[in-house]
Amino acid sequence: MRTLLLSDTLALALFRVRPEGMWDIDWADQRNKNLLSPEYGLLYLASYMKKREIPFDVVNVIADPEEVDTAFFRDLSNKALESEEYAQRCDEWADKRWEEVLCRIEEAPPDIILIPMAYYFMIKYVRNLVQEVRDRAPGAFIVTGGNYATLHAQEVMEEGVVDYIVVGEGEHTIVELITALDAGTPVRDVDGIVCKDEEGTITRTGARARENNLDEFPHLYTCHEEFKIKKRHEILCDLIPYGDYWPGTGMITARGCPEKCSFCLDPAIWNRKVRFHSAEYVADTVKFCQENFSSDHNRFFFGDSTFTLRWKRMEPMIELLGELGMSYTCQTRADALDARRLEKMSEAGWVTIGIGTESLDNETLNDVALKREDAGEIIDAALLCREWGIQPVMTLIAGFPGDTRAKLVRTADKLRSAGLHVSSFFPLTVFRGLGLFEGFGNVEGYAESAFWERREEARLNEWSEEWLRLSEEFPTPEELMEFTAYLNHRVRLPIQERVSA
């Protein structure tokens, strides 16, 4: 059977819609990174399919066309809000490109089409794109997966557009599903699937056991040629010389996180279980990227939720990475940092560590965010990073239940007083289906029914399934966004200006 993997649908949605905020000049780096990044889950599936000799083709909606280069992004994505002319050119190119993809699918319909539904941001637009693919290939089996599809499988299936949803970790499942469809054997024997049975009833097959030996899966850059990773990498090196985590410069060394943070999808997806790649696997992947992609960008990013877990694995991994001569950055929790780890990381080339801080109010940290950390412990860990020559980058959230302007200002001032200027606040956005969303209306001063009446006002944009969390303190999206910007300004103010502010 002919299998087609369709990548860059999220990027096309961003390119066509140009959501407010992300298309502002301050977001240019993040925007272009999103526009040029493939769906990473699709890379993992493709790499395992390749290992198992399952043939497939890849269509990269954004990255395939020859005209897509650095100048293309500077002329279109960066200028689309500067003039109606560039906005129109942006629209025309996106529409023309998508029609080319649809025509290819219609003229030579694949038997199976894989389209991810991973990100809540712009997911409603992506779902429309999937419908358009269905219209052009009515006889194909359409398969989806990813975080969003996994957590909202019933709803996605009820739309009647997709045939199969791969739930959770997908490598083994997709190989078995394609093999079953090719052989005409019952799909009900494939674990990890949501589908419709012979009577049209939505059903789940058996639960898929997760692979404990993650090294069984080839690294995601095994399919770098099919997904145009080198091209994406080189464009982003030109556009964002000092950025992080784009194609060819990043990986995740573990799956899952043991924590239960209330604002995060990880606990829902991985059930607080963690599995790790070996030190050798990680070092080999980094070396592969070093040898196959541009050497001008000598930094590598590890995207694990808590990179510094499990010292027995970390120590040999850091030693191997230190031998490659790269600069490294990662993200982690404050309580997973100590002098021993930081000394080794500093010697191996670590330059930055992102610390998920969220708040410096202990009540918020423990009772709302469910972080199980102490504000003083977080500050101490950040200062310890700096002692070892590593820049701590603090990320915080504004708008938790119980947050007040005064409380948030105190957090900003604590950061400033400690000299932790590289800190960023983000407004709290909640995902539909998580606890913070379900309790959205139960905020002091807001009856639950009042929230549901105003829900669309709080939606991040009309195509998203993320919401800004409104409250009595921040009753409108504008107030929450404006105060978040104020906090970022305040934490970077010179001391004398901050005191008088």
pLDDT at residue number 500: 39
| Beta strands per DSSP E along 8-110 | 57-60
pLDDT at residue number 125: 95
Q: Which residues contact 486 (CB under 8 A, 6 or more apart)?
A: none
Could you report the per-residue pLDDT of 300-345, keeping only the tens digit for each?
A: 999 998 999 888 899 999 999 999 999 999 999 999 999 999 999 9
Vertex 318, ends 316 and 320: CA angle to 5°?
Answer: 70
Q: What are phi and psi of 445, to 5 degrees?
A: 90, -5
- Name the band, by pLDDT with cuts 50, 70 and 90, for residue 495: very low
Could you report the per-residue pLDDT of 63-106, keeping only the tens digit for each?
A: 999 999 999 888 777 777 778 888 888 889 999 999 999 999 99
CA 187 to chain centre: 30
Could you report the per-residue pLDDT of 334-365, keeping only the tens digit for each?
A: 999 999 999 999 999 999 999 999 999 999 99
Residue 53 token pair: 């000799």
CATH classification for the domain delimited by 249-500, as one of 3.20.20.70, 3.40.50.720, 3.40.50.970, 3.40.50.20: 3.20.20.70
In which residue are the tokens 């560590």 written? 353
Vertex 430, ends 366 and 41: CA angle to 5°?
Answer: 105
In which residue are the tokens 């807001």 written? 446
Residue 345 token pair: 């990381």
Average pLDDT over residues 278-286: 97
Q: Domains of the chain: which residue ranges?
A: 3-204, 249-500
- Name the band, by pLDDT with cuts 50, 70 and 90, for residue 262: confident
Q: Using DSSP, state whether 157 is helix, strand or coil.
A: helix
Q: Which helix (H) or strand (E) holds 267?
A: helix 266-270
Q: Which residues contact 501 (CB under 8 A, 6 or more apart)?
A: 490, 493
Residue 348 token pair: 């191996």
